[in-house]
Amino acid sequence: MVREAKIERKTSETAISLRWAVDGTGESRVSSGIPFFDHMLTLFARHGLFGLDLDAKGDLDVDFHHTVEDTGITMGQALTKALGNKAGIRRYGFAYVPMDEALVRVVVDLSGRPFLAYNAPADVEPVGGNFSFQLVEEFLRAICVHGGMNLHVDILAGKDAHHMAEGVFKALARALDQATQVDPRVEGIPSTKGVL
């Protein structure tokens, strides 16, 4: 079974075309018009061993918020669609990722019940002068809600905004790779409720 989904999302603010292959090789083609965000999504695909194709066009003249948030929405929808009823998956995943002085922990449960717990330093400077660090949280909230996941993200240490953001995207990728893996010991849905 190929675990892959394609999503098209068009609003008055953004137009997004996305393909996400859960069982990929880390190859990606990403174009959002936001170079730093492209970098984060490219390394997300690489470290999660996903296949990711993204073409996002947004109202970047307003700011980056709509494009980043709507990409997160679309990715969450694609993950939900690709996993189907989630039969046989591990469901839980976690990762610690160091990035120089930064250390990030991400823990995920693909429970179908969205909740984001996000702990990061306050007043972090924008990355490269124009990518607000707050957009990392906006992306996480969007993918969490639309991907139906309980997501805990903790930046345990860090000073450099680029390093902290990169740690978050890499740790999220590794945690999702672990949670989406099929475990041959799991029969059916990994829940006593019989549904996720």
Task: Give me the DSSP letters along 99-147.
Answer: ETTEEEEEEEE--S--EEEEE--SSPPPBTTTB-THHHHHHHHHHHHHH
Mean per-residue pLDDT, 125-154: 96
Looking up residue 113, the CATH number of its domain turns out to be 3.30.230.40
Which pLDDT belongs to residue 27? 98
Which pLDDT belongs to residue 150? 98
Mean per-residue pLDDT, 68-79: 98
Which pLDDT belongs to residue 129? 83
Q: Range of 84's domain?
A: 4-180
Instruction: Determine, yes or no, domain membership for 187.
Output: no
User: For the segment 26-69, what is each residue's pLDDT rounded down to a tens digit?
Assistant: 999 999 999 999 999 999 999 999 999 999 999 999 999 999 99
- Give, in order, the Cα–Cα distances in Å from 21 to each of 54, 80, 84: 12, 12, 13
Instruction: Give the single-character DSSP code of 4.
Output: E
Parallel, antiparallel, or unpaired: how do β-strands 4-10 and 92-99 relate? Answer: unpaired
- Give, in order, the Cα–Cα distances in Å from 147 to each of 71, 72, 77, 102: 12, 9, 6, 26
91, 111 contact by CB (below 8 A): yes
> How many domains does the structure of the chain reveal?
1
Instruction: Give the single-character DSSP code of 182.
Output: B
Confidence band for 194, pLDDT divided at 50, 70 and 90? confident
Confidence band for 169, pLDDT divided at 50, 70 and 90? very high
Instruction: Determine, yes or no, domain membership for 59.
Output: yes
Which pLDDT belongs to residue 123? 92
Instruction: Determine, yes or no, domain membership for 190.
Output: no
Instruction: Determine, yes or no, domain membership for 121.
Output: yes
Which pLDDT belongs to residue 128? 85
Residue ranges of E strands in the chain: 4-10, 14-21, 28-31, 51-58, 92-99, 102-109, 115-119, 150-157
Mean per-residue pLDDT, 83-106: 97
Q: What is the rounded average pLDDT for all residues in the chain?
A: 97
Mean per-residue pLDDT, 13-30: 98
Confidence band for 3, pLDDT divided at 50, 70 and 90? very high
Mean per-residue pLDDT, 192-196: 89
Spatial distance between the Cα atoms of 36 and 160, rounded to a whole number of angstroms: 14
Spatial distance between the Cα atoms of 51 and 121, rounded to a whole number of angstroms: 31
Spatial distance between the Cα atoms of 166 and 7, rounded to a whole number of angstroms: 25
Instruction: Determine, yes or no, domain membership for 15.
Output: yes
Spatial distance between the Cα atoms of 39 and 120, rounded to a whole number of angstroms: 20
